Amino acid sequence: MIEYRENESLSFEEYYDFLKRSDLGSQYPQEHFEERIERLLARRSIAITARNDKGTLIGIAFGVSDFAYFLFVTDLGVDRAYAKQGIGSELLVRIREAVGGEDNITVVTVAHATATGFYEKCGYVSENCLFWKPCNLWSEFK
């Protein structure tokens, strides 16, 4: 059973351990790594975590949102041992719901080329590895 949590505090050590078990760590530069990760953990505006039945961190979705129109998913990762079980797509659904839901929130993310199929399967549209999913209620302001 997977437990999902919203805005849970994570230590650098726990997150670093998770990064070693996922492909997410490869997106971070080495320069000032620990300092920058600690800042990320302290200041992201929204986070959804996934834990297995032993309480081990197995998935994360971090984002920045205005909680009215947009969500930029900055980080999405799943432990390699739990890949292809729907955890990543569930994290995307839950983070969008946490900031306002699909009727109001347009989601944007920048994805590695290897994640193209995943985002397309989740209904996102690609623009040169920029993926976005507009909210259902959006009319041009005139």
Average pLDDT in the chain: 90
pLDDT reading at 140 higher than 70: no
Q: Is 104 exposed, middle or buried (0-12, 13-18, 19+ CB in 10 A)?
A: middle
Question: Could you tell me if 24 and 62 are in contact, meaning their C-beta atoms sit under 8 angstroms apart?
Answer: no
pLDDT attached to residue 29: 78
Give pLDDT tens digits for 42-58.
999 999 999 999 999 99
> For residue 42, what is the domain's CATH number?
3.40.630.30
Per-residue model confidence (pLDDT) at position 112: 75
Q: Residue 142 — pLDDT band, cuts 50, 70, 90?
A: very low
Q: For the residues 25-30, what does the mean pLDDT come to?
A: 79
pLDDT in tens, 84-115: 999 999 999 999 999 999 999 999 998 877 88
pLDDT of 137 higher than 90: no
Domain containing residue 51: 3-133
Contact 73, 62 (CB under 8 A): yes
The number of domains in the chain is 1
Question: Looking at the domain assignment, is residue 60 inside a domain?
Answer: yes
Domain assignment present for 45 = yes
Residue 140 falls inside a structural domain: no
Residue 67 structure tokens: 């909680």
Q: Is 139 inside any structural domain?
A: no
Structure tokens that stand for 114 in this block:
């290897």
Question: Contact at 8 Å (CB) between 141 and 121?
Answer: no
What is the per-residue pLDDT for 39?
93
Buried residues in 60-70 as b, exposed as e (16+ CB within 10 A): bbbbebeeeeb
